[in-house]
Structure 1
Amino acid sequence: MITAIQEILKICDRHADRLRWAVSQLQCHAPFDEHGLSRLTDTEIAVLDQFSVRFGKLQDAMGAKLFPAVLELTKEPGELKAFIDKLNRLEKIGAIPSADDWLLLREVRNTFAHDYPDDPELKAEIINKALDLTASLIDVLDSVKRFVQPYL
């Protein structure tokens, strides 16, 4: 189990590192607006795509793999089938700061995953929201890493 969680953490760290890099490349354009989006070069659009993909992949890896592995590692009692129950338990044991904050991150990720080519203003708003929440997403990962450290 310890080896498995270490591998999951490596994957999450890789996504987080690439997400940080993409954010650093996009900061000079933030906050985005509909006009700014239309002026991006192909390379800048590729970086924006990288940001979108890594934001989603980090969340997916944490939600689908890391969170269940933490619950298994800590031998939390009871069968938690619903994802919200898992989040609430992770918050209760101190592995994540807030289940509600994770749900907000997830909502933004789901919105962010959709392309809105006919509404550049909405697209810019979603990108800005995701950029603003990136630090929170990485903070959740860091929180989980601190929490599991004594178990490793």
Structure 2
Amino acid sequence: MRTTDSDVRRVTQLLDLVEREDEHLRGVQARFFGTVPEQGVDGEWVTRTLSNPEGIDRLESFGAKFGRMQDTVVDKLLPALLTAAGEHPGAAIDNLNRAERLGFINAADDWLIMRRLRNRLVHEYMTDPSAMASALRQARALTGELHSAFIAMRDFASSHFS
């Protein structure tokens, strides 16, 4: 498969988009969690945080941005990057396994966990504050994986398509 200028332009556009999504996600993460250590995100913290409209808005913003960046990376950037690299993209899980082999991500299984978390944070109103706290701790930690994957893909594109 031959790489075209159009393929490279598409990767560049998507990298620009994911860079903005990454900045926004990390920004809302900092505003939502503040300086609370991981172990401080518990059921009581969730109840307190969601007791006011600002906390609810920040939760919704964090969940939406977490899901949006993950969707863009998995559904758009990764297939475009594989295409530009001369590979044939496949199903999301196959692309994630390829991304793991190429060193873009640490573990494809983490990205499957991310997808489930995304669905829980975006589509469900959890009634158990402890379950919400657990999901938020996981999502908070996996935000770093999203950022690292973006950096790895950006670096790959810079070294292969510049």
TM-score (norm 2): 0.81
Aligned CA distance change for structure 1 residues 80 and 21 (closer, same or farther; 3 Å): closer
CA apart distance, 1:65: 0.3
* Partner Cα separation in structure 1 for residue 89 and residue 118 of structure 2: 23
Q: How does 1:110-121 map to 2 (within 5 A)?
A: 110-121=119-130
Aligned length: 150
Matched residue type, 1:134: T
Question: Mean alpha-carbon deviation: is it higher for 139-148 or for 83-92?
Answer: 83-92
The alignment partner of 2:123 has SS state of coil
Aligned CA distance change for structure 1 residues 37 and 98 (closer, same or farther; 3 Å): closer
Matched residue type, 2:10: A
Residue identity (%)? 31
TM-score (norm 1): 0.86
RMSD of Structure 2 on Structure 1 (CA): 1.9
Question: Mean alpha-carbon deviation: is it higher for 97-106 or for 81-90?
Answer: 97-106
* Partner Cα separation in structure 2 for residue 6 and residue 27 of structure 1: 32
* Partner Cα separation in structure 1 for residue 129 and residue 110 of structure 2: 26
- 1:68 maps to 2:79: yes
Question: Mean alpha-carbon deviation: is it higher for 27-36 or for 40-49?
Answer: 27-36
Q: Which residue of 2 aligns with 1:7?
A: 13
Unaligned runs of 5+ in 2: 1-6
Q: Which residue of 1 aligns with 2:155?
A: 146
